[in-house]
Amino acid sequence: MRIKRFLFVIGVVSGFSALSLPVAQSAAQTPKKPVSTKYQGLTVEDPYEWLEKDDEPDVKTWSAAQNQRTRQYLDQLPDRAAIENELTGWYAKTSPSYSSLVTRPGFLFAMKFQPPKQQPLLVTLTSADDVASEKVVLDPNVLDTKGATAIDWFVPSSDGNYVAVSLSKGGSEDGTLHFYQTATGKALSDTIAHVQYPTAGGSAAWNADGTGIYYTRFPRTGERPEADLNFYQQIYFHKLGTPDGEDTYSIGKDFPRIAEIILERSRHGRYILASVANGDGGDFAHYLLGPDGSASARWKQITKFSDQIKAARLGRDNALYLLSRKAAPRGKVLRLPLETPELSKAVEIIPTGEAVIQQIVPTADALFVGDLLGGPSQIRRFGLDGKGETIIPIPKISAVQEMIALEDSSLLFRDQSYTEPAAWFHCANGKTEAVKTALRTTSPVSFADIEVIREFATSKDGTKIPLNIVFRKGMKRDGQNPTLLYGYGGYGISMSPNFEFTRRLWFDRGGVYVVANIRGGGEFGEDWHRAGNLTKKQNVFDDFAAAAEYLIKEKYTRPEKLAMQGGSNGGLLMGAMITQHPDLMRAVVSQVGIYDMLRVELAPNGAFNVTEFGTVKDPEQFKALYAYSPYHHVVDGTKYPSILMLTGANDGRVAPYHSRKMIARLDEANRSQNPILLRTSSSAGHGIGTALNERIKQLADTYAFLFAQLGMEK
């Protein structure tokens, strides 16, 4: 399942004395142009609504001035250039990393990232243990030498002879579907525009004989009003070798305006499964097409949003495996024979338990289940009847990000931890031992001196919040450690262990790195998610504040040595921390964040967030949104911490104006001498598809900023 909102953290660190901090150039007073709007009988005035218009000359001038001010401050930091050089050198030494593996008879497809290349490329391998067999199918770095073109996703045909690839530019995620011969990398003449966009993503699935493809399609100009061209996603069919204007409608006219569709084909292509999300709130409906070639082949609805089926996978035994959270917040698995594809005929084969079921991978003779244990992962193997449970050993406090069944029904999975980079492991048929394959990433720096512990903070309402605390061995709990606290808290997305070698900079300067598994995520199932969305969103902020207070109380750090970081929905979390607890931390880094909760749903992608955040059209939801909306709770005369906000001009997921408006309001209200800075990248969006050089520059700016604020020296 595609995860739309996630923007992962980058650790941080390099240093020098806080006593010699440069002073940020004073910001010119942002003009106020008040606009009043009435919500549920309450009139709310917005002095900076004019900053929402991306293409207005005065907005561009204002944004350029903010960027100049930010660059002047960051470029004065004595470590800034050295950090970028060090990061560039490290990236040049990293080994290739492989992700998004897909199996086809005789070989594997994979995305390969190999710095200093700017973008990942698409390759094939004969097996996970034969890297010498690698062949490049498509290298976007050759298509675009500036590194601005990225592969959004790819789908090979059933026999692997062809592959469909969505390509987009500048981090926009506005994808056009292209087709390539796998053996030669030669492009076919067929192209289909606007199959992918940040609002609803995109997907495709080939028919059985590889002569055509089902794909997600957004409306074309003239089919719907301009405001709806990134909504109403539907499914069409394209026959190779024909103009896309001749493509035929398949299904979707009755789907919600905010539908997000993921397509999957069965192993031999006889069935196509469509998983349809109702926006970003976590509810799905499922539709089945097939069997291919039969007189009755048509789409049949299998589940509704209210059925609480969170995932479905086509098995090799003519069955559909369903992950249900109905009366089972941590999940249970159902098996549904395709001969009678009616949900009432589904049989429970794996009951709910303590583990949160996240992934289900059926093979010819087994069912592998990927679990979450409050953050870290677990893998279990069952028979297709749900019996004979065995545990597949994996590294402690690690995360299984991907699981795929190979043609021989064995399992490949990708695992990583806070101290070990990602590697693909192979679990052979009938075996419980997982063996590391040749597809493994090596780090340019050692983490041998780094350890990880899990502790629990107590939130405002008594809920226990897991903290993953990463630090250099020998760290003293004397309240003096520079500490970076990271969180997200939304969409049921879990903050699982991940490896980021650039955090070596942070640890080398005595830093402690902490990830909080706060509510709103999925670490403890659907109840954990629901306790932090819609009108209960304040729980997320209370959990994170409790995590910070715990770190201070337990003498890991103190407010003057504490920094916080989050992105996207985690940027909303940062905004809430800034406005609700400005004295709790010394510095905040917030990336592509959401800050104006009253107008977020007006942006195209914001409408998809209504099922997660709520809408101002509902009285109770408006009350909750207005109660925590960061933009509306900036208070004049407050001494705010040091703040660095980063956004991308091409962001189609969170409108860049959120950052512009929030910075303008904070600049106006702040009475401290701390810098409040906005960095806008003209060549990036939400973070997906960003060229490596720009990623390194963002990292260097972030590290240098935090080292300066926390007084961190190497």
Q: What is the DSSP letter of 521?
A: B
CA atoms in the 13 A half-sphere facing the CB of 494: 27
Q: How confident is the model over 514-540, as pLDDT tens digits?
A: 999 999 999 999 999 999 999 999 999
Distance (Å) of CA 65 to CA 59, 72, 646, 665 = 10, 11, 15, 16
Q: Specify whether the CB–CB gap between 570 and 489 falls below 8 A.
A: yes
Q: Is the pLDDT of residue 22 over 80?
A: no
Locate 465 and state its tokens: 């919040």
Beta-bridged to residue 179, according to DSSP, are: 164
Distance (Å) of CA 85 to CA 14, 79, 82, 679, 697 = 12, 10, 5, 20, 10
Residue 7 binned pLDDT confidence (cut-offs 50, 70, 90): very low
Which amino acid is residue 150, in one-letter code? A
* Cα–Cα distance for residue pair 383/56, rounded to 1 Å: 61
Distance of CA 594 to the CA centre of its chain: 15
Q: Is the pLDDT of residue 6 over 60?
A: no
**Tell me, what's the pLDDT at 5?**
38
Q: Specify whether the CB–CB gap between 190 and 241 falls below 8 A.
A: yes
Q: How confident is the model over 315-354, as pLDDT tens digits?
A: 999 999 999 999 999 999 999 999 889 999 999 999 999 9
Region(s) of the chain under CATH 2.130.10.120? 97-261
Q: Specify whether the CB–CB gap between 178 and 237 falls below 8 A.
A: no
Q: How confident is the model over 271-283, as pLDDT tens digits?
A: 999 999 999 989 9
Find the helix or strand (DSSP H, E) in which 421 lies. Answer: none
Positive or negative: CA dihedral 606, 612, 615, 621: negative
Q: How confident is the model over 461-485, as pLDDT tens digits?
A: 999 999 999 999 999 999 999 999 9
Q: Is the pLDDT of residue 16 over 70?
A: no
> DSSP letter string over 593-621?
----TTTGGGSTGGGGGHHHH--TTSHHH
**Tell me, what's the pLDDT at 295?**
60
**Tell me, what's the pLDDT at 383?**
95
**Tell me, what's the pLDDT at 21?**
65
Question: What is the fold, at CATH topology level, of the domain defined by 18-90+445-710?
Answer: Rossmann fold (3.40.50)
Q: How confident is the model over 374-387, as pLDDT tens digits?
A: 989 999 999 999 99
Locate 285 and state its tokens: 């409906």
Q: How confident is the model over 623-647, as pLDDT tens digits?
A: 999 999 999 999 999 999 999 999 9
Average pLDDT of the chain to the nearest whole number: 93
Percent of the chain with pLDDT over 70: 96
Q: Is the pLDDT of residue 587 over 50?
A: yes
Q: How confident is the model over 432-449, as pLDDT tens digits?
A: 889 999 999 999 999 999
Q: Between 688 and 622, name the one with better pLDDT.
A: 622
What is the rounded average pLDDT of the residues 224-251?
95
**Residue 178: is it exposed, middle or buried by C-beta count within 10 angstroms (0-12/13-18/19+)?**
buried
Q: Distance from first CA to last CA of the chain, Å, rounded?
A: 42
Across 21-25, 123-127, 179-183, least confident range: 21-25
CA atoms in the 13 A half-sphere facing the CB of 123: 23
Region(s) of the chain under CATH 2.40.10? 354-442
Place of tokens 């103009």: 243
Of 328, 196, 313, 330, nearest to 265 by C-alpha is: 313
**Tell me, what's the pLDDT at 429?**
85
Given this structure, which CATH class describes domain 266-353? mainly beta
> DSSP letter string over 172-229?
---EEEEEEETTT-PEEEEEEEEEEBTTTB--EEE-TTSSEEEEEEPPPBTTB-GGGT
Q: How confident is the model over 656-711, as pLDDT tens digits?
A: 999 999 999 999 999 999 999 999 988 888 888 888 989 999 999 999 999 999 99
Locate 292 and state its tokens: 């291919």
**Tell me, what's the pLDDT at 490?**
96
Region(s) of the chain under CATH 3.40.50.1820? 18-90+445-710
Q: Between 560 and 684, name the one with better pLDDT.
A: 560
Of 425, 427, 366, nearest to 399 by C-alpha is: 425
Q: Determine the angle formed by the axes of helices 692-710 and 57-76, rounding to 10 degrees.
A: 60
Q: Between 25 and 322, name the one with better pLDDT.
A: 322
Distance of CA 229 to the CA centre of its chain: 24
Architecture per CATH, 354-442: Beta Barrel (2.40)
Locate 478 and state its tokens: 């004397």
Q: How confident is the model over 364-422, as pLDDT tens digits?
A: 999 999 999 998 999 999 999 999 999 999 988 899 999 999 999 999 999 999 999 99
**Tell me, what's the pLDDT at 494?**
93
- Beta-carbon contacts of 591 under 8 Å, excluding residues fewer than 6 positions away, are 7, 565, 566, 567, 568, 570, 571, 645, 646, 647, 687
Q: Specify whether the CB–CB gap between 322 and 340 falls below 8 A.
A: no
What is the rounded average pLDDT of the residues 74-96?
94
Region(s) of the chain under CATH 2.20.25? 266-353
Given this structure, which CATH class describes domain 97-261? mainly beta
